[in-house]
Amino acid sequence: MTAAGKLLRTAGKLLRTTAFKLVLAYLFVFATLSVVVLIYVSWHANALLAAQLNATVNAEVTGLSDQYRQGGIRRLVAIVEERSNRSGGSIYLLTTMSGEVLAGNVSGLPNASLAEAGERELPYRRVGEENAAPYPAVVRVFVLPGGYRLLVGRDTEERERLSAVISNAVQWSLALVVVFGLAGGVFVAKRVLGRIDAMTETARTIMAGDLSGRLAVTGSDDEFDRLAGATNAMLDRINELMAGLKEVSDNIAHDLKTPLTRLRNRAEAALRDARTEDDWAAAMERVIADTDAMLGIFNALLLIARAESGGARDKLAPVDLADIARSVAELYEPLAEERGARLTVAAPVAISVLGSRELIGQAVANLIENALNYGADDGGEVRVEAMADDETARIVVADRGPGIPEADRERALDRFVRLDTSRTRPGSGLGLALASAVARLHGGTLALEDNAPGLRVVVTLPLRVPTLAAPPPKLALAAPAA
């Protein structure tokens, strides 16, 4: 490609950019504005000067009329003579009715200019400068008693000069606005264009399948950095959701195939071996129980998926966390007692959070079930607490069992994971994952801590500010803390 062609292409691209269009628009606005301002100023300055001229001429005329009234034509001639010799912008001419000059400093006026009284503008030459170019002047002509004509005027060259200066200024400022505006526009457009092009390029590679690509963040914290940051966070979230989706499908394949196989085997065995009515009934009951267990897994998966998509956020209402903790603990208390464990609850004060009683209740139920199943099989203690500080509300479910080793804690929140050998116990393996998803749905977190000994599950939720109409918690774009 030739250099000229390349330049043309760049220019064409530049012309199509939003920044450049904006620059043109602003250029037009500013140019128009500066012209309007200058025209306004020059118009007013002209008017002001004209008024001043008029006032001066009027004052002179009044003075000369007085002199004429008091001293007759002779005195007037003497005074006009005397004033004519003064330097300055005033011009005088006194003639008889027939046009013979009695006194004055003007020559070469057209004859007709003295014929009538009144005010007019005309070119004049001073006495002794008959060959020079005429100057413009504003004059007033009076017809005095006796037919004398008196002309008094002011040179208007000052005014003309001002006009020239202003029109000059208009031209220069227009030129400057256009030059600097265009240059600035080209600079801004090029810069913006460059960064946007870089972003588009990155976006293309990401779309092409490389989800690990990220937009460059320059650290200047300008709009582009913020856009890049938000886009990167969005990509992180998409990545996370994709990974989650893949994991779910892998796990569904694995964890649902197992009970499905078992179900199928049972049905087959019944078909083959069942002889009596009772055999059939027992086989069918087991089939139904297996089906129910699978439905439970499905429901939990759906709930997790929904919680993670954040779809239910706008339906949250103020609920009392302490009340939920107490009611769920109360629901499980007899079960704990039956198993020889002790379930205690400490939720003394009401804690208002924006949430779903149903989902939080289910999360707490799952945590308590987990604690009873894994942390209190030999008659330990399970403690449920609800508390709040200035900004966050917490529900804690703690047991005194073996706990989870620190290295396994992150994995424990994954779907379907049942650590160690506990696969033979009841449960879908979704309890913790579900509780964690519920926490995230509420804009909170779930953390696994060491209860020394035992496991301490802490669900932290944002506290509802009671005085304000609290907006639903914002969708967290960033990846949740592991």
Partner 1 sequence: MTSSMKLLIVEDDREAAAYVVKALTEAGHVADHAADGVEGYELASSSSYDVLVVDRMLPRLDGLTLIRRLRAEGAATPVLILSALGQVDDRVQGLRAGGDDYLTKPYAFAELLARVEALARRGGPGAGDTVYKVADLEIDRLSHTVTRGGQEIVLQPREFRLLEYLMRNAGQVVTRTMLLENVWDYHFDPQTNVIDVHVSRLRSKIDKGFDKPLLHTVRGAGYVIRDGGR
Q: Is 356 in the site for partner 1 (CB under 8 A)?
A: yes
Q: Cα Rg for the chain, rounded, in angstroms?
A: 48
Give the C-alpha distances (Å, rounded to integers) separating 186 from 113, 129, 175, 214, 318.
59, 56, 16, 28, 54
Q: Is 123 in the site for partner 1 (CB under 8 A)?
A: no
Strands 342-346 and 381-388: parallel
Distant-in-sequence contacts of 69-75, Cβ < 8 A, 24+ apart: 73/102, 73/144, 73/146, 73/148
Size of the site for partner 1 (CB under 8 A): 32
3-state secondary structure of 444: coil
Check: CB of residue 48 under 8 Å from CB of residue 54.
Answer: no
Indicate the residue among 338 and 390 with the shorter CB distance to partner 1. Answer: 338
Query: Which of the stretches 78-86, 178-186, 289-297, 467-475 binds partner 1 when contact is defined by CB under 8 A?
Result: 289-297
Give the C-alpha distances (Å, rounded to integers) separating 439 from 168, 362, 396.
71, 11, 12
Check: CB of residue 91 under 8 Å from CB of residue 151.
Answer: yes
Query: Which of the stretches 43-51, 120-128, 242-250, 364-372 binds partner 1 when contact is defined by CB under 8 A?
Result: 364-372
**Residue corresponding to tokens 């949250």:** 316
Q: Is 361 in the site for partner 1 (CB under 8 A)?
A: yes
The CB-of-347 to partner 1 minimum distance in angstroms stands at 16
Give the C-alpha distances (Å, rounded to integers) separating 226 from 18, 210, 220.
19, 22, 9
* Phi and psi angles of residue 182, each rounded to the nearest 5 degrees, phi first: -65, -45
Q: Is 299 in the site for partner 1 (CB under 8 A)?
A: yes
Q: Is 338 in the site for partner 1 (CB under 8 A)?
A: yes
The CB-of-292 to partner 1 minimum distance in angstroms stands at 8
Q: Is 259 in the site for partner 1 (CB under 8 A)?
A: no
Query: Which of the stretches 28-36, 73-81, 165-173, 292-300 binds partner 1 when contact is defined by CB under 8 A?
Result: 292-300
Query: Which of the stretches 106-114, 188-196, 238-246, 322-330 binds partner 1 when contact is defined by CB under 8 A?
Result: 322-330
Query: Which of the stretches 14-22, 116-124, 294-302, 340-348 binds partner 1 when contact is defined by CB under 8 A?
Result: 294-302
From 91, 103, 328, 371, residue interacting with partner 1 (rule: CB under 8 A)? 328
Give the C-alpha distances (Å, rounded to integers) separating 138 from 51, 99, 153, 161.
11, 20, 5, 15
Write out the binding residues for partner 1, residues 417-476 only, by CB under 8 A.
Answer: 426-428, 431
The CB-of-362 to partner 1 minimum distance in angstroms stands at 4
Indicate the residue among 123 and 334 with the shorter CB distance to partner 1. Answer: 334
Check: CB of residue 139 under 8 Å from CB of residue 121.
Answer: yes
Write out the binding residues for partner 1, residues 369-398 only, by CB under 8 A.
Answer: 369, 372
**Residue corresponding to tokens 């669900």:** 459
Q: Is 279 in the site for partner 1 (CB under 8 A)?
A: no
67: nearest Cα among 76, 80, 55:
76
Indicate the residue among 110 and 311 with the shorter CB distance to partner 1. Answer: 311
Indicate the residue among 56 and 327 with the shorter CB distance to partner 1. Answer: 327
User: Could you list the residues that contact partner 1 (CB under 8 A)?
Assistant: 285, 288, 291, 295-296, 299, 302-303, 306, 312, 315, 327-328, 330-332, 334-335, 338, 356-359, 361-362, 365, 369, 372, 426-428, 431
